[in-house]
């Protein structure tokens, strides 16, 4: 499946997740994969599900018809993409905002299977051979692979793409490529050489990176005019574009890889159309009219009360929940510790105490959500109870240098009395602020005269509404709190440059997180890297060491131990204030689609899995 092997993130009101933890697989290390032998796929732990030359993934639908237009509102996005507007068609650079699903226009060496937690299979690469030292990977390239202009995808194009992304790519791509020592090519093969310092699982991420045409980039540049796309080679290409308003992706009928097992039975729609709305309510009204045919509802109030319009009553629109993926998820507020007032952990604890989840969930969310506690929520990487002996082995060297709370019961956020103004919790917040050196003088001030100001930056009306009671509680304890709503472009610019006090972020890691995925959010190397998702500026040697331990894990059990230990430290530090999550995809769609059930466990790209059902569409008057 053409889903980047990274994390998709952006602040939005509700993030779905799986109700079950990702299952423990056999303790077969990545190192057990054979060397000096061509492989059709790779997996971090456990055997591959699919043999060489498999006909299609089990979740694909090879007999489904092709045709129709899928007009939808994306619920997730990658890199510099935005669901609100766009001013570039390059998803792989830092600058600008690109439309979601641009990744469907590009092929890659290998692609992930959505019914396995960590398996990838060859697409442009016919096979991969691992060197005995496991630091280099030789990919044999399919001679039939083509760009959309008919020119072949040469090994030299792939080598050029990796070097380009290492130099000019989005930080989420540049970061793992730091471990690339060389990208080499000859007539039939591409060789990726790593420096020996990489996590064993890094190759699973790198093999999914996009491939560009060297001739196209050299002729037209990497960053180009807003309506000029990069030359792709995937199942879709860019069609009609109205900058900032809409984009259509057209199915490539003669897509070179359509009959490969990794692609057969997918990508059924002739066109995929995305329209952009700066206002959430305007997007909902467009869905009610049928201008949009599929959406995932992110506002619990609308999900509970808004789906009573005629098309629902006439059963032309279906309202349904689908289980979310078996992947670690996080939704939390980031307090920017590059600003002195938030470096003191007591200040962060006080701010967290002012959020009354119980009141918010009952009065604003219609009890639709659960309280988030962990950056690895709903996975076997989430810490529970007291540390295991194996976790203590990793934690003990840092005793006295990390919060003592990391050695006790896993930290959970306090439960309020649900009144919206819990005096006990607010009293605790006031005492913590006083201990941190802030005195009440109307507002909270320090001896140097500084005032404790907290600006919560949002880009959405619905989120601003949710923040209102939180802000009132913060003001009750003396914090000069305020909500700053900005447009999408300004929000992205300020978040990328860490110009904020507090923002919200939703993140979904892969089912078997790599070191570089975790590093991007929590490691000191990314604390000052513009465009990274280390939004709080976490820079702690203990956190770094635990991320390194996760990267060195040779079994899934070892990975779980390292990430649980990391979870304990992150939760005790409270760089991120966990807020809420949803167990399911809250989906609504016009009843004109066919799809296969059950959905795969590790991804839900509706635009690639579903198809237009003419009989259903005619039955509801479409």
What is the 3-class SS of 122-169, one letter each residue? ECCEEEEEECCCCCEEEEEECCCCECCCCCECCHHHHHHHHHHHHHHC
Residues in the chain with pLDDT < 50?
Answer: 1-29
Q: How far apart are CA 586 and CA 14, in angstroms?
A: 10
- Tens of pLDDT along 386-417? 999 999 999 999 999 999 999 999 999 999 99
pLDDT at 469: 96
pLDDT at 279: 82
pLDDT at 30: 59
The pTM score is 0.86
Q: Using an 8 Å Cβ cutoff, are 146 and 154 in contact? A: no
Burial class (CB within 10 angstroms; exposed 0-12, middle 13-18, buried 19+) of 132: exposed
Between the CA of residue 163 and those of 130, 179, 183, 228, 513, what are the distances in Å?
20, 12, 7, 22, 24
The 3-state DSSP class for residue 62 equals: coil
Which neighbouring-strand residues pair with 193? 136, 182
pLDDT at 14: 32
- Tens of pLDDT along 347-397? 999 999 999 999 999 999 999 899 999 999 989 999 999 999 999 999 999
pLDDT at 390: 97
For 180, phi and psi rounded to 5 degrees? -80, 120
């Amino acid at each position: 499946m053409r889903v980047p092997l990274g994390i998709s993130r952006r602040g939005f009101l509700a993030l779905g997740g799986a109700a079950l933890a990702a299952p423990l697989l056999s303790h077969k290390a990545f190192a057990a994969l054979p060397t000096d032998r061509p492989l059709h796929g790779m997996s971090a732990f456990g055997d591959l599900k699919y043999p060489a030359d498999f006909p299609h993934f089990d979740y694909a639908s090879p007999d489904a018809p092709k045709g129709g237009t899928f007009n939808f509102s994306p619920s997730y996005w990658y890199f510099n993409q935005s669901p609100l507007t766009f001013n570039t068609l390059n998803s792989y650079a830092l600058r600008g905002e690109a439309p979601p699903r641009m990744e469907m226009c590009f092929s890659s060496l290998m692609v992930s299977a959505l019914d396995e937690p960590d398996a990838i299979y060859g697409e442009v690469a016919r096979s991969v051979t691992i060197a005995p030292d496991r630091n280099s990977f030789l990919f044999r390239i399919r001679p039939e692979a083509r760009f959309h202009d008919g020119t072949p995808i040469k090994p030299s194009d792939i080598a050029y793409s990796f070097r380009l992304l290492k130099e000019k790519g989005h930080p989420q791509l540049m970061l793992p490529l730091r471990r690339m020592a060389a990208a080499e090519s000859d007539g039939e093969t591409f060789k990726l050489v790593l420096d020996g310092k990489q996590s064993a699982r890094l190759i699973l991420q790198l093999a999914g990176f996009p491939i560009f045409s060297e001739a196209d980039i050299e002729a037209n540049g990497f960053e180009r005019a807003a309506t000029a796309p990069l030359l792709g080679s995937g199942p879709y290409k860019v069609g009609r574009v109205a900058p900032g308003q809409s984009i259509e992706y057209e199915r490539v009928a003669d897509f070179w890889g359509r009959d490969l097992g990794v692609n057969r039975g997918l990508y059924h729609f002739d066109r995929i159309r995305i329209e952009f709305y700066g206002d959430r309510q305007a997007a909902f009204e467009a869905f009610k009219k049928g201008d949009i045919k599929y959406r995932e509802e992110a506002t619990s109030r609308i999900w509970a009360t808004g789906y009573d319009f005629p098309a629902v009553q006439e059963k032309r629109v279906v309202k349904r929940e689908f289980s979310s993926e078996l992947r670690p998820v996080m939704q939390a507020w980031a307090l920017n510790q590059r600003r002195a007032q938030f470096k003191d952990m007591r200040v962060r604890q006080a701010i967290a105490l002012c959020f009354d989840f119980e009141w918010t969930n009952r009065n604003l969310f219609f009890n639709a959500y659960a309280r988030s506690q962990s950056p690895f929520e709903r996975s076997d990487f989430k810490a529970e109870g007291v540390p295991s002996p194996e976790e203590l082995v990793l934690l003990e060297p840092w005793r006295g240098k990390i919060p003592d709370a990391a050695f006790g019961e896993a930290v959970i956020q306090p439960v309020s009395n649900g009144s919206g103004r819990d005096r006990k919790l607010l009293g605790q917040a006031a005492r913590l602020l006083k201990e941190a050196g802030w005195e009440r003088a109307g507002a909270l001030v320090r001896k140097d005269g500084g005032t404790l100001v907290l600006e919560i930056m949002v880009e959405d009306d619905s989120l601003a509404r949710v923040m209102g009671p939180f802000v009132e509680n913060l003001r009750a304890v003396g914090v000069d709190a305020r909500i700053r709503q900005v447009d999408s472009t300004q929000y992205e610019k300020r978040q990328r440059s860490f110009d904020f006090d507090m923002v919200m972020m939703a993140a979904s890691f892969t089912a078997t997180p790599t070191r570089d995925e975790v590093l991007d959010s929590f490691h000191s190397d990314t604390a000052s890297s513009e465009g990274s998702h280390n939004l709080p500026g976490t820079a702690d040697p203990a956190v770094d060491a635990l991320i390194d331990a996760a990267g060195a894990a040779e079994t899934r059990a070892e990975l779980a131990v390292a990430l649980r230990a990391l979870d304990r430290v992150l939760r005790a530090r409270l760089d991120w204030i966990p807020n809420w999550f949803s167990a399911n995809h809250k989906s609504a769609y016009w009843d004109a689609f066919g799809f296969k059930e059950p959905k795969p466990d590790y991804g839900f790209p509706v635009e690639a899995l579903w198809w237009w059902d003419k009989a259903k569409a005619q039955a509801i008057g479409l």
